[in-house]
Amino acid sequence: MTRPEVSPYKLASVLLQYPTAPIFAGLDTLVAAVATVRPHQSRDAMAGFLDWLGKTPPAEVAEHYVETFDLHRRCALYLTYYRFGDTRRRGMAMLSFKTAYRVAAFDPTDDELPDYLPLVLEFASLSPRGEDLLRSHRADLELLRKALHEANTPYAGVVDAVCALLPRLGRRDLGLVKLHWEKGPPDEEVGLEPFAPPEYMGMGS
């Protein structure tokens, strides 16, 4: 019996979330699902990450996750953070995510900001509009990928896998990556609220 393929975006979404007990309990299932992923660059990158996950004590993985994503500004799992920090410009940049979710009738949790990468990846596994978001924020993904490699974390492999599913960086994106990689996330200037007219902010009507 042929095992059904799982969306590589869904797999990446799961792997980039905080490592809870169910992830470790389902390692065999994850390994089997990753074996179906195409292209092979994505499959190999995810398989390498799962190999590390299976060999590392859960408490150590959790500690590494917090150290990587919560304590390093450059490694934040928010697609607009690297370029805009916590500024009003970032708030406006997030409108594209909210709009895409609304149009596709996707109702995400309110626990995370709309540019949270695992959330965007889950959306991409359900709707072509999600992949469009990833494509339009390809430079932001690349900034995160470079930061994770600089931090020498196995989580870089998961973002490598996502990037392998998308087109290569164009000239404009390469310019954005070069500019913002040198600068890093901007210093916090103002909070995110209010950053757009109220009618744009609700996920509902």
What pLDDT is recorded for position 205? 31
Predicted pLDDT at 194: 38
pLDDT on residue 191? 46
Confidence (pLDDT) at 201: 33
Say what the pLDDT of residue 51 is: 98
Q: Which pLDDT value is given to residue 196?
A: 37
Q: What is the pLDDT of residue 87?
A: 79
- The whole-number pLDDT of residue 136 equals 93
| Regions in the chain scoring below 50 on pLDDT | 1-2, 190-205
pLDDT score at 188:
61
User: What pLDDT sits at residue 115?
Assistant: 95
> CA nearest 83: which of 40, 151, 161, 144?
144
CB 185 within 8 A of CB 83: yes
